[in-house]
Amino acid sequence: MFDSANLEHTVSKAAYRREEPKLREALLNAQYDLKLNGRFPVLILIAGVEGAGKSETVNLLNEWMDPRHIHTHAFPPPSDEERERPPMWRFWRALPPKGKIGIFFGAWHTQPILGRVLREIGEAEFQRAIDEIVRFEKMLCDEGVLLLKYWFHLSKKQQKKRLRELSRDPQTAWRVTDLDWKYFKLYDRFVEVSERFLRRTSTGEAPWIVVPGADRRYRSLAVGRHLLSAMRERLDEKPVRRLPDRTPPLLAAPDRMNVIRALELDQPMSRAAYEKERDREQARLALLTRDKAFRDIAVVAVFEGNDAAGKGGAIRRVTQALDARLYHGVPVAAPTEEERAQPYLWRFWRHIPRRGRMVIFDRSWYGRVLVERVEGLCAEADWMRAYNEIVEFEQQLVAHGIVLVKFWLAISKDEQLRRFRQREKVPFKRFKITPEDWRNRRKWDAYEQAVCDMVDRTSTAIAPWTLVEANNKYYARVKVLRTLCDAIEAGLARAKA
């Protein structure tokens, strides 16, 4: 992979002076077109060997273009804010919005490569990291991100020369540390691991672009030209006639039986029994969340359900037992402008809690495979790939020690009608019923199918759905409280083990 980059490439001063002003102008124009077009973000990854001109190139790009519309991020060792979230959180929060350019100076590739070079991680973990990165980058590309991955390379001889030169010059000697020389001794292993990494993570949509880094003028023109042509190609693209995205249909059950219909929605529970159970579970929840080990875990609770199924009421019974400083409620409605400029999971990633905290989502990322699917707000291929992306996302939460509980509150069609009518009658409940609720109700069967597919494709051993029979609110609330307590209890036990 480094054959070309190992050659001695040069560009003369004269040639550089001729081309640079034109390139610069064209890049600035492309940047402004990107801002006007506003349909996609550009994400530039800067990676490779030390001394190959990575930071110089980042500076140059900021110089050539308007730095106000470039978000440059380096990723030093994670802050405690970052350490307390899953590893990908820091990259999610830094993603550039549509219309902007983001430069990541080192990114998700850094840890797996260095970890493997220094033998801090084994082959299985390296493989898993590669697999996750391929899935993540595919998701970014599917979401429309123009992802450009530059790998700056130096041959062993060139790197040695470069480190020597930097050390000799008093103005730059500070840049060469003992660590650099230590890493230089690992050059061959670094190249071997990197090559394997680059090979496995180079895909058609996001190939690594290897840049020979020894000659400043050469690498500057190489990156500048490539960035320009990649942006122009995307900015100028015109729709073509192509076959639609090829996603096969999901299974339609030949009988009337499915996970929702299998539920006995009317569960008995008297008011008196409810109050007793509620008090007991709330006391339990209060104790659990005040356990010392709670500081080592975090909780994400997801509430989904039919309209009028009692999500709000159930959530209130949970929060009554919680210290207000401890939890954060996230009501999910239509995305804001800022959120629409990002991949759809971005607006949920931003709310992922630190250690010792709980976040309660009133509706969630499952909107993608429910309302967006049923209402045709996204293409079939988009919601089909979302099952996979969501499972991947939840896996990252769970792997980080986050307790994840997901509730589907189910009521019958008759019970919903009764509640809708009641809401219309009771003045202080009227805000809770809108024409949209009646519209959704007309698509009951389509929603039911979407819910069943959702459960089948995202209820996993590590993040199971809890289906809550909710015709009787008392029963539903107690089941929610108890399930949540059980999950936290298990999470605390794992944290203590």
Question: Looking at the chain, how many residues does it have?
Answer: 497
Radius of gyration of the chain (CA): 27
Question: Taking the complex as a whole, how short is the minimal distance between the CB of residue 82 and its own copies, in angstroms?
Answer: 26
Three-class secondary structure of residue 64 per DSSP: helix
Contact track, its own copies, 90-119, x by CB under 8 A: ------------------------------
Scanning residues 37 to 96, which ones bind its own copies (CB under 8 A)? none
The nearer residue to its own copies, 259 or 301, going by C-beta atoms, is: 259
Question: Taking the complex as a whole, how short is the minimal distance between the CB of residue 19 and its own copies, in angstroms?
Answer: 8
Q: Which helix (H) or strand (E) holds 327?
A: strand 327-331
State the Cα–Cα distance between residues 286 and 157, nearest whole angstrom.
Answer: 63
State the Cα–Cα distance between residues 29 and 445, nearest whole angstrom.
Answer: 50
The nearer residue to its own copies, 4 or 177, going by C-beta atoms, is: 4
Contact track, its own copies, 443-482, x by CB under 8 A: ---------x--xxx-xxx---x-----------------
Scanning residues 375 to 434, which ones bind its own copies (CB under 8 A)? 381, 384-385, 387-388, 391
* Distance between start and end Cα atoms, the chain: 45
Scanning residues 146 to 185, which ones bind its own copies (CB under 8 A)? 146-148
State the Cα–Cα distance between residues 320 and 477, nearest whole angstrom.
Answer: 12
The nearer residue to its own copies, 146 or 288, going by C-beta atoms, is: 146
Residue 497 lies near its own copies (rule: CB under 8 A): no
- Paired tokens of 81: 């804010």
The window from 27-35, 192-200, 270-278, 425-433 that contacts its own copies (CB under 8 A) reads 192-200
Question: Taking the complex as a whole, how short is the minimal distance between the CB of residue 361 and its own copies, in angstroms?
Answer: 21
Scanning residues 121 to 140, which ones bind its own copies (CB under 8 A)? 122-124, 127-128, 130-131, 134
State the Cα–Cα distance between residues 162 and 216, nearest whole angstrom.
Answer: 12
State the Cα–Cα distance between residues 45 and 49, nearest whole angstrom.
Answer: 13
Question: Taking the complex as a whole, how short is the minimal distance between the CB of residue 259 and its own copies, in angstroms?
Answer: 5
User: How would you classify the pairing of strands 101-105 and 70-74?
Assistant: parallel
The nearer residue to its own copies, 185 or 256, going by C-beta atoms, is: 256
> Distances from the Cα of 305 to the Cαs of 259, 310, 419, 448, in angstroms?
14, 8, 14, 10
The nearer residue to its own copies, 59 or 203, going by C-beta atoms, is: 203
Where in 57-195 does DSSP place strands (E)? 70-74, 101-105, 146-153
3-state secondary structure 84-95: CCCCCHHHHHHC
Contact track, its own copies, 2-41, x by CB under 8 A: -xxx-xxxxx---x---x----------------------
The nearer residue to its own copies, 280 or 457, going by C-beta atoms, is: 457
The nearer residue to its own copies, 105 or 208, going by C-beta atoms, is: 208
